[in-house]
Chains A and B, each alone.
Chain A
Amino acid sequence: MKHLVLASALLIAAGSVSCTKSSNAENEVTRAHFSAVQEGGEADTKAAEMYAEFSEASFGKGDFKNALFFADFALARDPSNFRAQFHRASAKAMGVFKGLFVRVRPLTRITPSAERNHQIAMEKAIIDYAQPEGLLPFLNDGQEDLKTESDVQNYVDQFIDAVQELRLFFLKNRDKEITLKVNPIWVPNPLDRWAEGCQIIALENYEYEMTCPAKSTRDTVTVNRADFEMLASMLQLYAAYLAPLNGYDLTGVVAAEKKFEAAQTQHITPSLMWSELMQTPSFGTLRAKNRFATVKSGLIEVLSGFDWMIANYPTLCVKGSQSGANRPGMLLYQGVCMAPAFKPYLAKYKADLTAGVTDTTVSQGAESYTTKVNYGAFFERPLKDLRVLNMIFDNCGSVVQVSDPTFNGVYPNRDANKVLSLSNGKCSL
């Protein structure tokens, strides 16, 4: 099942989230308690903060359902409560992982090797996702409903939506600051972080002194602009990576996998796989809900985030990229180290993306070739069907020839095949 990359990527992503079912009895007690809280003015503000803290505690236990419930309750009293807003947005995003381990089961049964891999992954998951206590129950709380490539691709759409919603929340609130109680979701290793924040300083008298972060950093973590910028950029990059992968219909991958495994095919080259996939008429056709149009603007936004990190490098990366003492007590405590040396490269990437046609040079050995490239063309006007490219692969699996010499407008000088052969032509056809 190795070609169902998306499903496995989601399983990996699921490693960073958790949830648990709440006790109904507990909820009843809590609701009764809420109804007793006085309403109005300052009382509302205080009550909202208390509910927001309940939301935070539930989130920390992986109980996303109650995290949402308490956050909504808090926001009903005080819509400006940022703790509640933060946990509402986070819990809502995590909801996309509910039942994922069970949902993907049908796809893990398609071949014996997929079944074995799934079993190994699950054995590991029991250890990796043991904390918080609600994680495994949450990931197992679902129906076996992802049965086809189309089901998986629709799920990936939902996943990207969740990623984008959370990212927009981070961006909208990037000037805010919040201090959270540590929990296994946001901060799985608070003691390591505290110890890594210790620093040894050489003194005038040739003795050493060690300084360590405050004790409070073992129990709390603060999120501010740098964290929000970095998290938003990471989420945008993830979305930009998934969008092209999910842009074309993948129907036929499962059948191809089954066929190759049944035939015990030893060496499945990209060329062989591509030929097989071409047998399914819908494979490689542009999906109605493709997101190619968002990729370019998304990448430009990521680069702008990086610009901000470079501009603030002196305060975000004071101790170097490996040091835990850069930002003790902050969510991204090791520092955000986007070195100024990247600045010209970022400027070039941004210019390449915005300029339309730009210059690029490819080289192999002593041979170098400069031509015009429109990096955005493929995303702005995606092909309706990948078949029209008639791709030819070399023995290394790289595409070395296409029937459209402009590669759908990317190479306006109609020299796509020259560029491909220079970039990839190290293996025989």
Chain B
Amino acid sequence: MKKLMIAALALAGALNAHAAEKHILDGVDISAAVEMYQKQIHTVTKPFYVYNWSPNAHQGDSDKLVAFAQNAAEAYWYSLGDQGKAKDNMFGAGLYAAVDPVVSYSYGQGGTGWRVIEFQMPVGLRLLDMNDAVLAEGDQREAGLKVVQQFDCPADGTVGVMLAQGAVGVSEKCRRLIREIFGQILNIDAIAYGYADTRFSFCTDNQFLSAKAFVMTNGEWMTPGNTKFFTAQSTKDEEARIRLQTTFLEAKFQRIDVSKDMVVLLKNYVKAHPSDEYGGSKTICIGNLCTLHAIFCASVYSTCNTVPIMVVPRVGGPTLTNAESMATLYMSLLWPDLEGKPKMNTVRKWIKENKFGCAGTSPLDGGPQ
């Protein structure tokens, strides 16, 4: 009981200290803006993985590359406003990472000259979501926006707009305020924003929740344990590489959409047989090919027609093979030494547990952001 009371007193003291703390920039008290934006910081409550692909500038598996990632993240605040670096980037020059390795693979430019960094975002990381407008209300909002306007930032204080293309659209005075609040005082670790992701049928079907990407803005949390580098030449950490390769095959298997040709075929069938009900489908595999058939039944006569809809390479098998990769992904295995190795047979479980939002709940505090 005594310990609890001491803890409570300590917490109250910390809160008072925080409330009393003043933040001054260029002679202006910016505390109100800090408090306003504090509401928009989300904390990681469950670890998840993200991936950064780029053309390979660093060969090999060196753990020293963690320092490279740390520097790249910390350079973010200093590159704000740089027109040249900001070009074509959502929120300026930085270390960007998507929630699955497949969706951003093309940033590595294919072939064998790529590098991928796998980050495990640890519990406690502080993120700023660009999808949020200013969340503070009432007097707190008014006081915060007053500060924001004093620094010539857009009057409504929306961070997503201020940081668009690396804050090239706002004044240097405003950029100083952004750096001070988010880079120094609130000390955020990454920026989150809406991006594409791979749709896995076993994930909760909520793109609103899961489709995210991140820009790293602080590298202090990065360690060899949560920051792994791979290139086409990598030979270490076979388990992680098998997981990545299996994820690519799984994503391909999952990513079959109804094509325009299939729409025409289905439409023409129901046009010719207007009373037929769609009665399901079946897959028939022969050799390396599988055919999906649609079943239509005329309810009056209870007769059914089986209509072939699409032919796809057979996916599956217990081992990783270049043949399957070429047939399904139209690319070689990411690492040739994985040929014949067993696939990760628990990859779906792993993705469900580790892909942002796949399990249907947000790994950030405050529910779906």
A: which residues have CB within 8 A of B?
191-192, 194-196, 198-202, 204, 206-210, 212, 215, 218, 313-314, 317-320, 323-325, 339-341, 343-345, 347-348, 351-352, 355, 358-359, 361, 363, 366, 368, 370
Contacts and interface: CB of A to CB of B under 8 A. Distances in A.
Contacts of A200: 256-258, 292, 310
A347 B133 contact: yes
B7 interface: no
B109 interface: no
Contacts of B169: 361, 363, 368
A411 to B, nearest CB: 16
A320 B196 CA distance: 10
B83 interface: yes
Among B201, B274, B277, the one with the most A-chain Cβ atoms within 10 Å of its Cβ is B201
B281 A359 contact: no
A198 B315 contact: no
Contacts of A341: 130-131, 160, 193-194
B156 interface: yes
Contacts of B254: 202
Contact of B292 (A210, A348, A366): A210
Contacts of A363: 168-169
B211 to A, nearest CB: 8
B236 interface: no
Contacts of A361: 169-171
B133 A344 contact: yes
22 contacts: A191-B270, A194-B267, A195-B266, A196-B258, A196-B263, A206-B314, A206-B315, A208-B256, A209-B283, A210-B258, A210-B281, A210-B294, A340-B194, A341-B130, A343-B133, A347-B158, A348-B158, A351-B156, A359-B155, A361-B170, A361-B171, A370-B152
A344 B161 contact: yes
Contacts of A366: 83
A194 B254 CA distance: 22
Interface string B267-291: 1001100100110110101000010
Contact of A215 (B161, B168, B263, B278): B278
A307 to B, nearest CB: 10
Contact of B267 (A195, A314, A355): A195
A201 B133 CA distance: 36
Contacts of A339: 194
B281 A340 contact: no
Given A192-B267, A195-B263, A210-B292, A202 B201 contact: yes
Given A208-B256, A358-B155, A370-B171, A343 B208 contact: no
A318 B258 contact: no
A61 B271 CA distance: 20
Given A191-B270, A196-B258, A324-B263, 6 more contacts: A198-B266, A207-B283, A209-B281, A320-B207, A355-B156, A359-B152
A319 to B, nearest CB: 8
B155 A355 contact: yes
A206 B270 contact: no
Given A208-B312, A313-B208, A359-B155, A194 B270 contact: yes
A101 to B, nearest CB: 31
B156 A347 contact: yes
Nearest to B271: A191
Contacts of B193: 341
Interface string B91-135: 000000000000000000000000000000000000000111110
The 5 closest A-B pairs by CB, nearest first: A344-B160, A341-B194, A351-B156, A347-B133, A207-B283
A69 B281 CA distance: 47
Contacts of A196: 258, 263
A202 B256 contact: yes
A352 B157 CA distance: 12
Given A318-B206, A320-B207, A341-B193, A198 B253 contact: no
B210 to A, nearest CB: 10
Contact of A351 (B130, B155, B171, B312): B155
A355 B168 CA distance: 23
Interface string B197-221: 0010100011111000000000000
Contacts of B285: 207
Given A194-B270, A370-B171, A343 B132 contact: yes
